[in-house]
Structure 1
Amino acid sequence: MHRTAMLPETWWDLTVEALAPAGGPAGEDVSALRAEIDQLRRALTGRTAIDQACGMVMVLAPCRSGAARGLLADVSRQCDVTLPEVAAALIAAWEGEPLAWPTQQALRRALRRFYAEDRGCDSRLPDESSGREGHDSRS
């Protein structure tokens, strides 16, 4: 059984204080560290949304977490948006917001492929499956 830990929103509001002058090498290090902290905060925030969306996919299309993340990554590639953006859109749709039409279409295609692979079916078009276009596979 997995447990979910809920962190208060203020948990991420950390501050860094520098004692060195702002113009020297130590000031540049502090600026670089602040930028890295901001980047890590954004990554962790996106990770939370991705994990939640993966859980939603795992419930709706019974699968493991790797397959759910792959499905979300597939939708992300098709829509040319980041994985956290796809995850946030799915979470918003779950809460009643309309899902954008291109995202709906990409999600449908990804689910069709997932189910076809799960059943052991070939999801390619008939002339793609033989590897030779326009040739009869019986000859």
Structure 2
Amino acid sequence: MAIEQLRAAIERRPVIDHARGVLMAAHRLTSEDAWKILVSVSQHSNIKLRTVAVDIVANAPGGDVHGSFPRLIESALEELKAE
């Protein structure tokens, strides 16, 4: 079972890293802050982090870096600024 979990994690990683890059470029964030945004959106929407990342990446070419989660991303950015 551990090998299957490792394989799944490896497959998810590229899209999550890509989404972090999109957020970093769009909002001038560090890698760590982009990670915090992804985690926050995932937790507040109760949607898996990979699914959030796929949505952000899928919408990035059209210029909508928020994808399906504009309010949650804006809220997470505001929380991050308040830290």
What TM-score comes out, normalization by structure 2 length? 0.79
41-50 or 66-75, which moves further after superposition? 41-50
The residue aligned with 1:112 is 78
Alignment gaps of 5+ in structure 1: 1-34, 119-139
Alignment gaps of 5+ in structure 2: none
Q: How far, CA to CA, are the matches of 1:104 and 1:63 in structure 2?
A: 16
The residue aligned with 2:42 is 76
Which fold has the larger relative contact order, with Cα–Cα distance below 8 Å and residues 6 or more apart in sequence? 2
- Report Cα offsets for 1:11-57 as digits up to 9, x if no partner: xxxxxxxxxxxxxxxxxxxxxxxx44332222112111111111111
Corresponding letter in the other structure for 1:50: I
Q: How far, CA to CA, are the matches of 1:60 and 1:69 in structure 2?
A: 14
- Report Cα offsets for 1:59-102 as digits up to 9, x if no partner: 11112111110111000111001111111110111134x833xx
Q: How far, CA to CA, are the matches of 2:3 and 2:16 in structure 1?
A: 20
The residue aligned with 2:31 is 65
Q: Equivalences for 1:46-61 in 2 at 5 Å?
A: 46-61=12-27
Q: How far, CA to CA, are the matches of 2:24 and 2:14 in structure 1?
A: 15
Q: How far, CA to CA, are the matches of 1:89 and 1:38 in structure 2?
A: 24
Q: Give the number of the structure whose alpha-carbon radius of gyration is greater.
A: 1
Tell me the matched-pair count: 80
The Cα RMSD (Å) is 2.0
